[in-house]
Amino acid sequence: MNRFARISGTGSCLPPLRLTNADMAARLAERGIETSDEWIVERTGIHARHFVADGVFASDLGAEAARQAMQAAGVAPADIDLIIVATSTPDMVFPSTAAIVQHKLGIAGCPVFDVQAVCSGFVYALTVADAMIRTGSANKALVIGAEVFSRLLDFNDRTTCVLFGDGAGAVVLEASDTPGILATDLHADGKHVGILCVPGHVSGGAVLGDPLLKMDGQAVFKLAVGVLEDAARAVLTKAGKQESDVDWLIPHQANIRIMQSTARKLKLPMDKVVVTVNEHGNTSAASIPLALDHAVRAGQVKKGDTLLLEGVGGGFTWGAVLLDF
């Protein structure tokens, strides 16, 4: 009997503090830096983002998203036998945020680890979980994207600080005799490390180097639009499907212009694209599962739909997952 991995439940969590572009403009004005709702909306499609309060960590958001996903799947914490958290904003240097999430969920014993692929983290984590389920290493996995990017933002840099937000999304991925995940495609090219990075590190009790986010937005933009098309075509080819078979494109939510470009290249109308960047900003590894859960709960994505998930980000990393929901 063939063994596949299938999403059986989704969940998400946004911290309650919502900042509009006007709130961000007021915050930056206190530092003598100018931005506007008009600029942010026109260049990115972002209207608002959520930020965590002090003392709230990626594990808190991830655990809540996971609880919702387990409830939606009708799965108890004791049934979970693998937890993967995609994050670039872990609670601690170590242990993994996945270990902290595991404990917060009252689970013990199963393997847990983090995946660090920045904004591609969720497609990387989903690909690893799919492989572990298909080979029999796991039966019911929690795959979580959880981020608190507000902690990495340089509020003196208007070109980046207005773009990002905090949040988490999660899925339960279960072994199934029907697919499920149809095809996956992952890539990276480390020569682009410098165009999107947080260069600081911890050494001898101090943070050395700059621990705030740096991005060459135009370089990232140009690379992103090319590789997203390639990854989309790769999973469609691997699965023997056409663009027209895709019910919903759920891309990484960084910039509406990148999503429009990908949709155009794939000849998909924008009403087949799940868009949450307007309300969430760029939540890095959390953006795809957050968008998926919002689309499920809004009644857009339905059981049986074919979904194309696509991530791109620091590393440079990129990839796609094609699945029947």
Give catalytic residue positions: 119, 252, 282
| Choice between 105 and 223, CB closer to ligand UT7 | 223
Neighbours of 257 (CB within 10 A): 14
| Tokens of residue 246, six digits | 């895709």
Task: State in angstroms the smallest separation of the CB of 170 from ligand UT7.
Answer: 19
Q: How far apart are CB 261 and ligand UT7 at their closest, in Å? A: 11
- Render the burial of 44-64: b for 16+ CB within 10 Å, e for the rest: bbbbbbbbbeeeebbbbbbbb
**Measured from the CB of residue 323, what is the shortest distance to ligand UT7 in angstroms?**
22
* Closer residue to ligand UT7 in complex, CB, 68/276: 276
Contact positions vs ligand UT7 (CB under 6 A): 35, 39-40, 43-44, 119, 158-159, 162, 217-218, 220-221, 224, 254-255, 258, 282, 312-313
How far apart are CB 160 and ligand UT7 at their closest, in Å?
A: 7
Q: Which of 240, 251, 304 is nearest to 274 (CA)?
A: 251
77, 105 Cβ separation under 8 angstroms: yes
Kind plus residue range of the DSSP H or E element containing 26: helix 21-29
Joined tokens for residue 5 = 């991995």
CA dihedral 260, 320, 182, 83 (to 10 degrees): -120
Residue closer to ligand UT7 by CB (options 40, 322) is: 40
Q: Rounded distance, CA 60 to CA 44, Å?
A: 28
How many CA within 13 A on the CB side of residue 278? 7
Measured in residues, the chain has a length of: 325
Phi, psi of 129 (to 5 degrees): -65, -40
- By beta carbon distance, the residue nearest ligand UT7 is 217
**CB 218 → ligand UT7: shortest distance, Å?**
5
Q: Return the H-helix or E-strand segment holding 288.
A: helix 287-297
Least Cβ distance, residue 107 to ligand UT7 (angstroms): 30
CA-based R_g, the chain, Å: 19
Q: ω before 90 within 30° of 0 (cis)?
A: no
Q: Which is nearer to ligand UT7, 107 or 291 (CB)?
A: 291
At 222, give phi and psi (nearest 5°): -65, -45
Name the residue nearer to ligand UT7 (CB basis): 127 or 255: 255
Q: Which is nearer to ligand UT7, 24 or 107 (CB)?
A: 24
Sequential DSSP letters for 200-230: -EEETTEEES--S-EE-HHHHHHHHHHHHHH
Rounded to a whole number of angstroms, the minimum distance from the CB of residue 156 to ligand UT7 is 12
